[in-house]
Amino acid sequence: MRKYVYKIIEPAKSHKDASHYFDLFIIILICLNVLAIILESEEDFRSVYADYFLRFEIFSVIIFSIEYLLRVWTCVENKKFRGAFIGRLKFISSPMALIDLLAIIPFFLPFIGVDLRFLRVLRLFRVFRILKMARYSKAFDLIKDVLKEKKEELFITAGLTAIILVIISTLMYYVEREAQPEHFSSITKALWWGIVTLTTVGYGDVFPITPIGKLMGGIITLMSIGIIALPSGIIASGYTEQIIKRKKSKDG
Amino acid sequence: MRKYVYKIIEPAKSHKDASHYFDLFIIILICLNVLAIILESEEDFRSVYADYFLRFEIFSVIIFSIEYLLRVWTCVENKKFRGAFIGRLKFISSPMALIDLLAIIPFFLPFIGVDLRFLRVLRLFRVFRILKMARYSKAFDLIKDVLKEKKEELFITAGLTAIILVIISTLMYYVEREAQPEHFSSITKALWWGIVTLTTVGYGDVFPITPIGKLMGGIITLMSIGIIALPSGIIASGYTEQIIKRKKSKDG
Amino acid sequence: MRKYVYKIIEPAKSHKDASHYFDLFIIILICLNVLAIILESEEDFRSVYADYFLRFEIFSVIIFSIEYLLRVWTCVENKKFRGAFIGRLKFISSPMALIDLLAIIPFFLPFIGVDLRFLRVLRLFRVFRILKMARYSKAFDLIKDVLKEKKEELFITAGLTAIILVIISTLMYYVEREAQPEHFSSITKALWWGIVTLTTVGYGDVFPITPIGKLMGGIITLMSIGIIALPSGIIASGYTEQIIKRKKSKDG
Amino acid sequence: MRKYVYKIIEPAKSHKDASHYFDLFIIILICLNVLAIILESEEDFRSVYADYFLRFEIFSVIIFSIEYLLRVWTCVENKKFRGAFIGRLKFISSPMALIDLLAIIPFFLPFIGVDLRFLRVLRLFRVFRILKMARYSKAFDLIKDVLKEKKEELFITAGLTAIILVIISTLMYYVEREAQPEHFSSITKALWWGIVTLTTVGYGDVFPITPIGKLMGGIITLMSIGIIALPSGIIASGYTEQIIKRKKSKDG
């Protein structure tokens, strides 16, 4: 019995069996949830269909809760989570199970007396229900593999970005703070300029205006983008490598 | 006779025969059409040369209509579209034939009594006449092949982009909606920020202004651009692979 | 004698001979010219040192003129430009010789009675003296080789960019012209939006403001950047290939 | 004794010995210093905790000074810096030692009577303490190796960028100076536009407004980004090559 349920709720390997239709049902429910969150944010919809949104939310949470409980119950069928207690604890603390829990918990918190203000923040987590998709999408598998394979390079890139960000923001803070106290009154504020510039987004809300600031900003930008933007090539090649690997293991 | 016409209207394989000059004539007509569309949009030109634009439009539609009818008539010479009726139906619903139809249909609709307002929108489709070029340009062949070969990767990238867009826009909506109700009053509005930021275009019309919004926006931007912008490497490598393939098949 | 002069004015192959010092002299003169052009544009410098700038300009033009005449005289020593008249004509119409001519001609035009207004525009060409560097820099060789090797791909990319630019600008023109007549009153004006968006520069002077314009702009941007920005990978790989080739031919 | 100290202060090769804990201590102190610099820039923190910041600064400088003196004393143990005097001089002028010196010198200058204004600028150098991390981070090793290996390509890229920047800024200066004297009154000012555009940051503070300026700006931008942004592929491939090299030398 438990084995049968386990097979159904796990992502299907073949088409047109119970497991496949269960997957499809969950995927559609996730998509509808995302749609509901987006539509609910529209003032016009919220006021008119508030009732429907609430009912759909209750329905979704019930389904997701059942799904979660079934997953916790049947997880011991998986070799990785053997052991009635320890196996289940392992499963519960796995990333996918945490996402499943995150998808339902905000709904149950008011019943155990959580502050309403804190709850409004928690409602924000409903959007992470989209991450439940990770179980069914190859895109997430790909990212996971790239993150694993290129972990070292990613750490280097992240570290490098952080260091460059701190240096250029500090320099810009010293140079521009007197001319633009509203934008460069502290290094943390200057960091916003640093991020917007290094990612080449360039909103245009903050930029150096003093000649020395422009000179430094120009040189810094040219150099930093060269140093930072390029390790991105590493990750890009990571994606390509992974995809080639998969094709090979599929073909042969 | 039909075979002869078919050979002429198909893209030429050798230079300096009738087919080649027919291609040239159509290509020049397409270019002139695009030029006419651009010039007609200029107030000064439209008012003075309205008459010429109309005459050129009529001339173009007549030529394109004859071309279309000839293509439908002769398409059965192509192995892919054999069968007097079924073959022609297949041809008519092929992408290239639909573009050919789209290039002429807005002109004929008023005669069968279509609403004028709807027609003004349809006139917009005239610009797609430029897509008729696809028959003669290698660029489109290349894109088509890359899209075919890398279909899977493109779906993953598109899905990933969509998911990240929804998550970051929702988060930003929750954080900024009170500070900037004009820009973040709904998730769909926040999506505009998401797209402008993720593509690093950064017009500067919408950006987080609250400290928490800037913090979140900064981290999100740095991470998301890393995750999304990079699968672009996949498509880039797709182009390169295709071009290498072509060179090889040309050489040997 | 002519052969000796030819060897001197050609880029040196070994260090520390007359040819090497001649190259160095010309390179320094080019750099000083660029510096002079930049400094002369500063109001403060122009008014105070106008005299010096003029003298330096006369000096530079004399040197560059002598250099140009010597090159024309000696070019026949090069196998490519054999033939006292035809060879020289060939040389004069070569890109490098045209750049050399462009560097001096604006100075001599007033003597043959050219309109002064036209001349002010021509003075602008002085900045192209920097292109005289092409003779001595590997960077230009590299670009030339990449442009040659990847000619086909570059044409495809350029054509593709042009087609996408026309399509998205036309669409945006139809959608936004009523809401923002100052920015989208014609397709040529909308092209400015198209270029600024496709290159992801995003100054923020022009962007869609209507909901339909934002929707279309968002989708278009996401797709177009994917299609256009990526052939850039082709050129990038072209640079890498060329550099690998050079290293190989150097090593073995 | 000196050898023992040398081994401790050098980056540790094995875990859990004295050298490892010394490294950890220095790394944490560097991080705390960066944090202190960032927090001190906040008005609120500076005024309240000024005392603590000063004490921490004194503590840090003492530690870093001792570290520096120990490094100078023990450097002769390293084969590269043999010779009591010449070896130490070599060490002192090595980049890492200069960074170490830069990290402490601003503190000692007032004692030898340096002007206070000049000192405020020097305090800015405190942020370079983050570069002391270079000794312990692989990221810096990677950058150093890429810079070494791809030196030639980097010079070409830098030169190319400089030349393109000068040309496009000069052209834009000639075209826009009358329409926007506040932004394009000199070539140096126009360079700011050039950098912001070429890096595709596009703050939106400066952009062409005249039709001819927009036409030229558009064409220039499309072309220049193609020519400049792409050698970045060279550096990207440099990172990848280096990382593959390291993996190989680790594995075999």
- Calculate mean pLDDT across residues D39-48: 87
- Chain C interface, mutation test: which of B140, B189, B196, B198, most C Cβ atoms within 10 Å? B196
Determine which of A138-147, C80-89, D33-42, D84-93 has the lowest per-residue pLDDT on average.
Answer: A138-147
**C133 and D163 in contact by Cβ < 8 A?**
yes
Determine which of B22-36, B193-207, C200-214, C235-249 has the lowest per-residue pLDDT on average.
Answer: C235-249
Instruction: Please state the pTM of the whole predicted model.
Output: 0.86
**D195 and A221 in contact by Cβ < 8 A?**
yes
pLDDT reported for residue A160: 80
Residue closest to A194 by CA, chosen among A229, A218, A168: A168
Q: Is B248 exposed, middle or buried (0-12, 13-18, 19+ CB in 10 A)?
A: exposed
- With beta carbons under 8 A apart, name residues in chain D contacting A232: 236
pLDDT reported for residue B207: 93
pLDDT reported for residue A213: 92
What ipTM score was computed for the predicted complex, to two decimals? 0.85
Amino acid at D188: T
pLDDT reported for residue A231: 55
- B68-101 pLDDT, tens digit per residue, is 999 999 888 888 888 888 889 999 999 889 989 9
Packed helices D151-176 and C138-149: angle between N→C axes, nearest 10 degrees: 90
Question: If pLDDT is split at 50, 70 and 90, which confidence band does B56 have?
Answer: very high
- Calculate mean pLDDT across residues C87-111: 87
- C38-64 pLDDT, tens digit per residue, is 998 888 888 888 889 989 999 999 999
**C-alpha span between D120 and D71 (Å, rounded):** 28
Chains A, D: CB contacts within 8 A come to 105
Amino acid at D111: F
- Calculate mean pLDDT across residues D46-72: 91
- Calculate mean pLDDT across residues C187-194: 92
- Calculate mean pLDDT across residues D148-164: 77
Confirm if A163 and D140 have CB atoms less than 8 A apart: no
Amino acid at C128: F
- In this model, does residue A64 exceed pLDDT 60? yes
Confirm if B175 and B218 have CB atoms less than 8 A apart: no
Confirm if A76 and A84 have CB atoms less than 8 A apart: yes
Q: What's the mean pLDDT when you consider all of chain C?
A: 83
Q: Is the dihedral of CA D160, D163, D166, D170 positive or negative?
A: negative
- The shortest C-alpha distance from B122 to chain A (Å) reads 30
- Calculate mean pLDDT across residues D198-222: 89
Confirm if B114 and B210 have CB atoms less than 8 A apart: no
- With beta carbons under 8 A apart, name residues in chain A contacting C206: none
What subunits touch chain D, counting only 3 or more CB pairs under 8 A?
A, B, C
**C-alpha span between C213 and C230 (Å, rounded):** 25
Confirm if D160 and D177 have CB atoms less than 8 A apart: no
- C171-183 pLDDT, tens digit per residue, is 999 889 889 999 9
pLDDT reported for residue C160: 80
**C-alpha span between D230 and C157 (Å, rounded):** 14
- In this model, does residue A42 exceed pLDDT 80? yes
pLDDT reported for residue C244: 66
- D77-117 pLDDT, tens digit per residue, is 888 888 888 889 999 998 889 989 988 888 887 777 777 67
**C-alpha span between C248 and C16 (Å, rounded):** 27
Q: How far is it between the farthest Cα atoms of chain C?
A: 75
Q: Is the dihedral of CA B85, B89, B94, B96 positive or negative?
A: positive
pLDDT reported for residue A230: 55
In which element (H, E) is residue C139 found? helix C138-149
Among C159, C214, C225, whose Cβ lies nearest the Cβ of B137?
C159
pLDDT reported for residue C147: 74
Confirm if A83 and A96 have CB atoms less than 8 A apart: no
- A181-206 pLDDT, tens digit per residue, is 999 999 999 999 999 998 888 999 99
Residues of chain A with pLDDT > 90, as a percent, come to: 29
Q: Concatenated DSSP letters for B29-56?
A: HHHHHHHHHHHHTSHHHHHHHHHHHHHH
- With beta carbons under 8 A apart, name residues in chain C contacting B43: 185-186
